[in-house]
Structure 1
Amino acid sequence: MDLDVFVTAHRTEWDRLDQLLGRGRRLTGAEADELVALYQRTATHLSLIQSSAPDPMLTARLTQLVARARATVTGTRRASWRDAAAFLTTGFPAAVYRTRHWWVPTAVVSTVVAVLIGWWIGTHPEVQSAIGAPGELRAMTRPGGQYETYYSSHPAASFAAQVWTNNARAAALCLVLGAFLGLPVLAVLFANMLNVGIGIGLMSSAGRLDVFLGLILPHGLLELTAVFVAAGTGLRLGWTLVDPGPKTRRAALAEQGRAAVGMAVGLALVLFLSGLIEGFVTPSGLPTWTRIAIGIAAELAFLLYVYVLGGRASRAGETGDVAEADRTASVPTAA
């Protein structure tokens, strides 16, 4: 496409659209119809330029023009409590449900890896000596040691906030790094499983595995599930780069990316709940079985939320993507 000829042929239409958008008064019916037609044509022009002869300055001008026209044609839309409720009852659970074929295997494999690491450390004293000196390991695993006092080392509220921030960061990293073919996600996931495996191995070698599980299960079930969901979603995002399916790679990645951003918000709320459990329940004086029961109840509630609400929303066509009206048009709508 000859860009100079194209610009010469359509500059008048773009200038006219800019003129209509700059009117300080209400448009007449004929002017409104003209604005809609020019908006559609300009959107088509922008699409053609981006695909055939990308020019940064011209693309920037037309992008701004199309955005202004779209806002005028469709009106300004503000987020409301209804949008938040729809996100929590349909969008987020549907997105998690639709990625279950990624995060469920991720959870199973990761758990097996953590258990194997724990078994390896717990049954090989030479590995334990490589982790720390005997005195340091005893200080970590003895009654009242570091593993037990960790959860009560800070005031519950500040500890819960710190845990939530760290876990939300890890989940966000898994989601964002998925765009790099998912490889960094595996590194983040392995680091988390390594920490869990070390705890299992050291506490089991000291004969206190029951204490360790009593400390980690109340909050760890929900916390690790959120991390597995984030990791599975990140891996799916990375696979979209390899196999976008029937859509173009750009469109498929955009759809998965928008859903992933929404999931980051939802998972932050899930991790906030697990942080509260870790800050207030795990170090509490409640019996071990009560603390574990609370953790199991929170985990079951999340799974029911995903499989019941999310499954129903997914079967109704919900994908977790933003509303169609809020997406950038991916194909020309008029000539």
Structure 2
Amino acid sequence: MDLDAYVLERAGEWERMEQLASRRRLTAAEADELVVLYQRATTHLSVIRSRTPDPVVVADLSRRLLAGRAAINRGGRLSWRPALHFFTDRFPAELYRTRWWWLAMSAVLTTLAGVLIWYVAAHPDVASLFLSEADITRLVERDFVGYYSEYQAQNFAGQVWTNNALLTAQCIAAGVLVVPVFYLLGVNLLNVGVTGGVMVTADAGDTFLTYITPHGLLELTCLFIGAGVGLRIGWAWIAPGPARTRRAALADRARSGMLIAVGMVPTLLVAGLLEAYVTPSPLPPSVRIGIGALVWLLFLAYALVLGRGAQSRRKADEETGYELPTA
């Protein structure tokens, strides 16, 4: 093989690959071109090594290939751009995409909780099935309010954050089996219903709302999202739709569920901070509830308003081109 002729014939492709690899941003066509040139250059290097292994040519082409592979992978240095993109685009878009599931769960579970609180309050003997008289007295006089200040705020916030994140993740992961989601929801619904009913019976309903609302609006919404997304995953294999197999539908919704699970982690951290620092604070009840309501409304705007825009942008971005991750 005439090495000089071989190199001269393909040198333009290698230079073009190196030129593309040096750019920070590529269009979809340029990204595809880089991948094709990289694949062809690896073949060229293999041919040179097997037939005429000139060390200078091999070293030069190997260097160019390393640059091309680094440009394709772009994993060498830390960048905040993927995280920023996730929280400004992918996560809100998925929340908006699944909105009817978690909004429906919010409406149904909130109604059931209200009915259960009313029923326990109207039938005090029901509470005795779960709590003794001594337990009820301690709950009303000390335990319910004291729970929020029993530990140091930072430790309590971490504990609440971990527990709620685990519960939400369990709802999403168990959704494929459907039934476990209802069990998890039922246990928590019963706890809220009995506690709320006991507090209302003891004329402490205002205390119940004062200590539940500041963090509960956001915290329970996160739980409803986990439940709705989990059931959406389970519904994928029950009714995948006419154009998809059950496997494809389940994979698509499971990916969506994992994205939402990741996004719920910092959201539940905010709820944990509210529960640890705002709920038991000496601020007037109206201020505490107002802070919780404001944070909750901001989250709904993030999910439904920003999410709607992010969903539209995702379709537009697919048409305008692909941008390689940059350091």
| TM-score of the two chains, using structure 2 as the length reference | 0.74
Question: What is the CA deviation profile of residues 310-333 of structure 1, one whole-angstrom value per residue up to 9, with x for unaligned ones?
Answer: 0111133469xxxx999xxxxxxx
Match of 2:275 among 265, 274, 278: 278
**Structure 2 counterpart of 1:163:** 160
Matched, 1:96 2:101: no
Aligned residue for 2:83, secondary structure, equals helix
Aligned residues of 2:174 and 2:230 also touching (Cα < 8 A): yes
Matched, 1:82 2:78: no
The one-letter amino acid paired with 1:184 is P
Q: Mark the CA change 1:318 to 1:270 in structure 2 (over 3 Å): closer, same or farther.
A: farther
Cα shift at 1:185? 1.0
Aligned residues of 1:244 and 1:252 also touching (Cα < 8 A): yes
In 2, Cα distance between equivalents of 1:317 and 1:32: 29
Aligned residue for 2:283, secondary structure, equals coil
Aligned residues of 2:127 and 2:194 also touching (Cα < 8 A): no
Matched, 1:154 2:168: no
Q: 1:171-210 maps to which residues of 2 (within 5 A)? A: 171-180=168-177, 182-210=178-206
In 2, Cα distance between equivalents of 1:141 and 1:155: 22
Q: Mark the CA change 1:295 to 1:73 in structure 2 (over 3 Å): closer, same or farther.
A: closer
**Structure 1 counterpart of 2:110:** 111
Q: Mark the CA change 1:125 to 1:30 in structure 2 (over 3 Å): closer, same or farther.
A: closer
Q: What is the number of residues matched between the two proteins?
A: 259
**Structure 1 counterpart of 2:10:** none
Matched, 1:238 2:237: no
Aligned residues of 1:97 and 1:311 also touching (Cα < 8 A): yes
**Structure 2 counterpart of 1:134:** 133
**Structure 2 counterpart of 1:18:** none
**Structure 2 counterpart of 1:33:** 40
Cα shift at 1:251? 2.0
Cα shift at 1:111? 0.7
**Structure 2 counterpart of 1:223:** 219
Pairwise CA RMSD = 2.6
Structure showing greater Rg: 2
In 2, Cα distance between equivalents of 1:128 and 1:231: 27
Structure with a larger share of its residues in helix? 2
Aligned residues of 2:38 and 2:69 also touching (Cα < 8 A): no
Match of 2:210 among 214, 217, 226: 214
Q: Mark the CA change 1:125 to 1:136 in structure 2 (over 3 Å): closer, same or farther.
A: same
In 2, Cα distance between equivalents of 1:110 and 1:31: 54
Aligned residue for 2:282, secondary structure, equals coil
Q: Structure 1, unaligned stretches of length 5 or more?
A: 1-28, 37-70, 327-335
Q: Which one is further off, 261-270 or 125-134? A: 125-134
The one-letter amino acid paired with 2:112 is V
In 2, Cα distance between equivalents of 1:128 and 1:75: 62
Question: What is the CA deviation profile of residues 113-165 of structure 1, one whole-angstrom value per residue up to 9, with x for unaligned ones?
Answer: 111111121111221222222222111112xx100100000000000000000
The one-letter amino acid paired with 2:151 is H
Matched, 1:260 2:257: yes
Aligned residues of 1:90 and 1:310 also touching (Cα < 8 A): yes
Q: Which one is further off, 249-258 or 76-85? A: 76-85
Match of 2:284 among 265, 282, 287: 287
Aligned residue for 1:132, secondary structure, equals coil
Question: What is the CA deviation profile of residues 56-93 of structure 1, one whole-angstrom value per residue up to 9, with x for unaligned ones?
Answer: xxxxxxxxxxxxxxx96983243731111110001001
Cα shift at 1:276? 0.3
Identity rate, percent: 41
Matched, 1:313 2:301: no
**Structure 2 counterpart of 1:40:** none
Cα shift at 1:31? 9.0
| TM-score of the two chains, using structure 1 as the length reference | 0.72
In 2, Cα distance between equivalents of 1:85 and 1:157: 26
In 2, Cα distance between equivalents of 1:205 and 1:30: 75
Aligned residue for 1:131, secondary structure, equals coil
Cα shift at 1:178? 1.1
Aligned residues of 1:90 and 1:318 also touching (Cα < 8 A): no
The one-letter amino acid paired with 1:234 is G
Q: Which one is further off, 184-193 or 162-171? A: 184-193
Aligned residue for 1:244, secondary structure, equals coil
Q: Structure 2, unaligned stretches of length 5 or more?
A: 1-35, 44-67, 317-321
Aligned residue for 1:179, secondary structure, equals helix
**Structure 1 counterpart of 2:3:** none
